[in-house]
C-alpha cells in the first residue's frame, strides 16, 4: 500500500537491549486505537502505521516490522524505548546519532522513554533544552550531557518537537499521549478505558502545544526547531526570517502556510506551553514565570496566557493542582 494523507507512521527504534515489553506493548496500544477509530467512526482522523527499525548486518537501519507493508516510509514519530540494562554506551549512542538527526530534520517528532533520552541527548538536539528521565538515571544524564536541562521531577515533558518521559513503564502513558495528539482526546480516553489503565499525564486545557512539523518546508522547520530550543525568547520577525534565510515577507507567508499560525502566535504558544509546565511543577510566582518565559510585563503575559488557554494563570494552577489531588 502507499502511505496517503489518512495514514500516519510511528516508528520504534529497536536497538540492542531495548525493552521488548515497550516495543510490543506500544504496537498493541496503537493497534487498539486504530480499531477504536473504526468502531467509533472517527475516520477523519489518520490511521496509525507502526514500524520497527533495527540494524541489519551492515549496521544499516531497516524497517523489520511494518503494520502496513508495501509503502514508502514517511516517519512522523520516532520512539526510542527504554532498556532493562544500564545506560547506553557511547558507542551504541553514536550508531544512531545521524539517523535521529535526519529524522528530526525531516520533521519527525522524537520521543523517548526512560533511558531512551540518552539517544536524543547524544545527537545534540537537547542542548539547552529541558528533558526528563527515570530518577535513577537523572544524575548520569546530567553528567554525560551537561548542556541538557534535566527535570527529573516530571513524568512526561512535551516540548513540541521532542517528548521525553521518565519511568521504565511510562510507555503506556506516552502512547496514550500520542493517541491524544494525533487521534484526539476521545480516542485516547477510549483506548485507556479498553486497556483498563489510568492516564498519568492527561493534558490540562492549553498546556500542550503540538506544532505541525510534517509540512515539508525545510526553511520553516529550521525556525520551528530553533524556537522550540530557545523557548521563543528575544525573537522578532527579522531574526526568524534571517534564520530561515528568507526575505521577511516571504518568510511570513511561508511560515503561516506551513504551520497555520503567524510567527507571533507560534511564539506565544511556545512560551505559554512552558509557562503551563512551570505553573504545574514549580512554586514560582506568576510574575516570576512571566519573566522566566520572556515577558517583561507580567500583565501582558496574563493576557496572552488567557488568550491561549482560556484561563488566568492562577486559575490554571488551581485546575491542575485539583486534577492531581
What single DSSP character describes residue 156? E
Can you read off the three cell numbers belonging to residue 152? 527529573
Which of these three, 160, 180, 195, is where a domain ends?
195
pLDDT band for position 203 (cuts 50, 70, 90): low
pLDDT band for position 1 (cuts 50, 70, 90): very low
What's the confidence (pLDDT) of residue 319? Answer: 85
Which of these three, 195, 230, 254, is where a domain ends?
195
Can you read off the three cell numbers belonging to residue 76? 512522523
| Residues 69 and 181 placed together within one structural domain of the fold | yes
Q: How far is CA 215 from the centre of its chain?
A: 16
Q: Is residue 208 part of a domain?
A: no
User: In this structure, what CATH number is given to the domain that contains residue 305?
Assistant: 1.10.10.60
Region 292-301: mean pLDDT is 94
| Residues 98 and 29 placed together within one structural domain of the fold | yes
- Rounded to 5°, the CA angle 79-85-87 comes to 70
Neighbouring CB atoms inside 10 A of 171's CB total 25
Q: What are phi and psi of 219, to 5 degrees?
A: -65, -45
pLDDT digits (tens, 9 = 90+) for 18-27: 999 999 999 9
Answer yes or no: is pLDDT of 219 > 90.
yes
| Residues 22 and 77 placed together within one structural domain of the fold | yes
pLDDT digits (tens, 9 = 90+) for 74-115: 999 999 999 988 899 999 999 999 999 999 999 999 999 999
Domain that holds residue 227: 218-324
Q: Is residue 205 part of a domain?
A: no
What's the confidence (pLDDT) of residue 323? Answer: 61
Answer yes or no: is pLDDT of 204 > 70.
no
CA distance 128 to 229: 7
Can you read off the three cell numbers belonging to residue 213? 512539523
Q: What are phi and psi of 259, to 5 degrees?
A: -100, -20
Answer yes or no: is pLDDT of 324 > 60.
no
| Residues 106 and 245 placed together within one structural domain of the fold | no
| Residues 132 and 23 placed together within one structural domain of the fold | yes
Region 226-251: mean pLDDT is 94
Answer yes or no: is pLDDT of 257 > 50.
yes
* DSSP three-state, residue 302: helix
| Residues 107 and 140 placed together within one structural domain of the fold | yes
Region 119-133: mean pLDDT is 95
Region 32-47: mean pLDDT is 94
Answer yes or no: is pLDDT of 3 > 80.
no
Total structural domains within the chain:
2
| Residues 176 and 27 placed together within one structural domain of the fold | yes
Q: Is residue 201 part of a domain?
A: no
* Residues ≥6 apart with Cβ < 8 Å to 253: none
| Residues 183 and 241 placed together within one structural domain of the fold | no
Answer yes or no: is pLDDT of 222 > 50.
yes
CA distance 274 to 292: 9
| Residues 155 and 297 placed together within one structural domain of the fold | no
Compute the half-sphere exposure of residue 306: CA atoms within 13 Å on the CB side of its CA.
8
| Residues 187 and 295 placed together within one structural domain of the fold | no
pLDDT band for position 290 (cuts 50, 70, 90): very high
Is 139 or 321 the better-scoring residue by pLDDT? 139
> DSSP of 73-125, one letter per residue?
--EEEEEE--BSSSSPPHHHHHHHHHHHHHHHHTTPEEEEEGGGHHHHHHTTT
What's the confidence (pLDDT) of residue 321? Answer: 75
What's the confidence (pLDDT) of residue 202? Answer: 55
What single DSSP character describes residue 202? P
Q: Is residue 204 part of a domain?
A: no
Answer yes or no: is pLDDT of 33 > 50.
yes
Q: Is residue 188 part of a domain?
A: yes
* DSSP three-state, residue 51: strand
pLDDT digits (tens, 9 = 90+) for 142-178: 999 999 999 888 888 999 899 999 887 889 999 999 9
Region 289-294: mean pLDDT is 93
Which of these three, 180, 195, 210, is where a domain ends?
195
| Residues 171 and 22 placed together within one structural domain of the fold | yes
* Residues ≥6 apart with Cβ < 8 Å to 21: none
pLDDT band for position 4 (cuts 50, 70, 90): very low
**CA distance between the termini of the chain:** 47
User: In this structure, what CATH number is given to the domain that contains residue 162?
Assistant: 3.40.50.880
Q: Is residue 213 part of a domain?
A: no
| Residues 258 and 159 placed together within one structural domain of the fold | no
Region 263-289: mean pLDDT is 92
Q: Is residue 211 part of a domain?
A: no
Amino acid at each position: 500500500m502507499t502511505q496517503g494523507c489518512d495514514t500516519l507512521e510511528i516508528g520504534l527504534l529497536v536497538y540492542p537491549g531495548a525493552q521488548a515489553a515497550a516495543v510490543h506493548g506500544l504496537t498493541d496500544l496503537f493497534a487498539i486505537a486504530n480499531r477504536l477509530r473504526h468502531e467509533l467512526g472517527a475516520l477523519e482522523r489518520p490511521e496509525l502505521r507502526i514500524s520497527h527499525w533495527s540494524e541489519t548486518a551492515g549496521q544499516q537501519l531497516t524497517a523489520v516490522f511494518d503494520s502496513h507493508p508495501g509503502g514508502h516510509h514517511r516517519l512522523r514519530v520516532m520512539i526510542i524505548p527504554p532498556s532493562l540494562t544500564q545506560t547506553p554506551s557511547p558507542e551504541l549512542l553514536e550508531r544512531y546519532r545521524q539517523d535521529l538527526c535526519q529524522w528530526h530534520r525531516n520533521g519527525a517528532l522524537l520521543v523517548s522513554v526512560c533511558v531512551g533520552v540518552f539517544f536524543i541527548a547524544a545527537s545534540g538536539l537537547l542542548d539547552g533544552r529541558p528533558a526528563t528521565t527515570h530518577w535513577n538515571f537523572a544524575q548520569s544524564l546530567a553528567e554525560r550531557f551537561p548542556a541538557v536541562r534535566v527535570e527529573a521531577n516530571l513524568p512526561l515533558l512535551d516540548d513540541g518537537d521532542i517528548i521525553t518521559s521518565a519511568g521504565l513503564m511510562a510507555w503506556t502513558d506516552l502512547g496514550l499521549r500520542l493517541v491524544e495528539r494525533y487521534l484526539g482526546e476521545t480516542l485516547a480516553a477510549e483506548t485507556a478505558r479498553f486497556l483498563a489503565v489510568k492516564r498519568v499525564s492527561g493534558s490540562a486545557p492549553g498546556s500542550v502545544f503540538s506544532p505541525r512539523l510534517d509540512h515539508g518546508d525545510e526553511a520553516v522547520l529550521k525556525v520551528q526547531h530553533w524556537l522550540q530550543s530557545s523557548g521563543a525568547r528575544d525573537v522578532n520577525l527579522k531574526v526568524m526570517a534571517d534564520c530561515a534565510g528568507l526575505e521577511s515577507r516571504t518568510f511570513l507567508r511561508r511560515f503561516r502556510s506551513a504551520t497555520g499560525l503567524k510567527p507571533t502566535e507560534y511564539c506565544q504558544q511556545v512560551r505559554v506551553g512552558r509557562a503551563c509546565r512551570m505553573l504545574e511543577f514549580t512554586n514560582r510566582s506568576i510574575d516570576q514565570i512571566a519573566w522566566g518565559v520572556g515577558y517583561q510585563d507580567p500583565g501582558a503575559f496574563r493576557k496572552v496566557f488567557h488568550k491561549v488557554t482560556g484561563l488566568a494563570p492562577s486559575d490554571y494552577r488551581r485546575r491542575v493542582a485539583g486534577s492531581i489531588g
